[in-house]
Amino acid sequence: MKIIDLDGREVKVTDLPLAILQADDYRHYRVNDPTEHQLYLYKYWEDFYQKLVLLETEIRQQK
């Protein structure tokens, strides 16, 4: 399974349930005074998580 991340890179997913858990954790990390890069990471991990959940939904619908 593969997804395309926010930077346009192809990411191979070998353990979808674990990837969803990890992305969900990462998207909730916050700091009090975020830098530009940290704001980008918030967006990146939210996008990544949503794509993983969509992939999971597509797989379940095929069964």
The whole-angstrom separation of Cα 23 and Cα 20 is: 5
**Which DSSP category does 12 fall into?**
E
Provide the token pair at 12: 């191979």
Give the model's pLDDT for residue 63.
76
Q: What angle do CA 46, 57, 10 make, to 5 degrees?
A: 55
Q: Which residues pair with residue 10 across a beta bridge?
A: 4
Which band of pLDDT confidence, cut at 50, 70 and 90, is reported for residue 3?
very high
Express each pLDDT in 12-58 by its tens digit. Answer: 999 999 999 999 999 999 999 999 999 999 999 999 999 999 999 99
DSSP one-letter string for 21-42: HHHHHHHT---SS--HHHHHHH
